[in-house]
Structure 1
Amino acid sequence: EEKLNKDELKALYLKSGLPLKRFFNTSGNLYKEKHLKDILPTLSEEEQLELLSTNGMLVKRPILETKDKVLVGFKEDQYKELL
């Protein structure tokens, strides 16, 4: 329930091996209001992480971290395979 800070987000991102864009809640109102679809490609990785850390509504959920993996968003088949 607590929002993740920049260092926590960066660690999850690096561990996941996923593109950083996958951590953004692209279907959320805030993402759309800020026109992030157009803005994100112009931002550095650090700027994107800073943006994610400033507002929890921008972060895609759930994020599941295990010893070896990080899953972002809910995909039932991935959860079944992992758990």
Structure 2
Amino acid sequence: MTISIFQYPKCSTCKKAQKWLDDHNITYESIHIVEETPTKEQLQAIYETSRLPLKKFFNTSGMKYKELGLKDKLQDMTEEEQLELLASDGMLIKRPLVTDGKKVTLGFKESDFLESWK
């Protein structure tokens, strides 16, 4: 299955992840996370595949996250509400979000990429 990388072009972490994939001759589909924000259904599937806590999908260092005061609000939101919120704005999603439908990585950590994508 094709690897999809949901990224934001100005994001330095996304650039590092794409460079790593390029350097390892790994083909991928690059998806602009703001212009083509994953749907709630896509996010639900990626979340379930990842086996990670849903809160890991939030870009906690982003301005939008801070503006909305999500640090204090997430614990009171249902999973459904959190997925809807993530699907409403690509800037809320931790990036890059990389998946092939069987595996998922969030952010860029070389050791995770070696384990998942090499």
What TM-score do you get using the length of structure 2 for normalisation?
0.68
Percent of pairs identical after alignment? 53
The one of 47, 51, 59 equivalent to 1:17 is 51
Structure 2 unaligned blocks of 5 or more: 1-31
Counterpart residue number, 1:44? 78
Evaluate the alpha carbon distance shift between residue 67 and residue 56 of structure 1 in structure 2; reply closer, same or farther with a 3 A threshold. closer
Cα displacement string for residues 3-46 of structure 1 (whole angstroms, at most 9, x for unaligned residues)? 10100000000000000000000000010111100000000000
Larger Rg: 2
Choose 60-69 or 47-56, whichever is displaced more. Answer: 60-69
Aligned-CA RMSD value = 0.9
Measured after TM superposition, the shift of residue 81 of structure 1 is: 1.9
Q: Tell me how many residue pairs correspond in the alignment.
A: 83
Rounded to whole Å, the distance in 2 between the matches of 1:45 and 1:67 is 20
Q: In the TM superposition, what whole-angstrom CA distance separates every residue of 1:25-81 from its partner, at most 9, and x where no partner exists?
A: 000001011110000000000000000000110001111112531111111111012
How far, CA to CA, are the matches of 2:109 and 2:84 in structure 1?
26
- Does residue 66 in structure 1 map to residue 100 in structure 2? yes
Between Structure 1 and Structure 2, which shows a larger proportion of helix residues?
A: 1
Structure 1 residue runs of 5 or longer lacking an equivalent are: none
Task: Considering fraction of residues, name the structure with more strand.
Answer: 2
The residue type paired with residue 69 of structure 1 is K
Divergent runs of 4+, >4 A: none
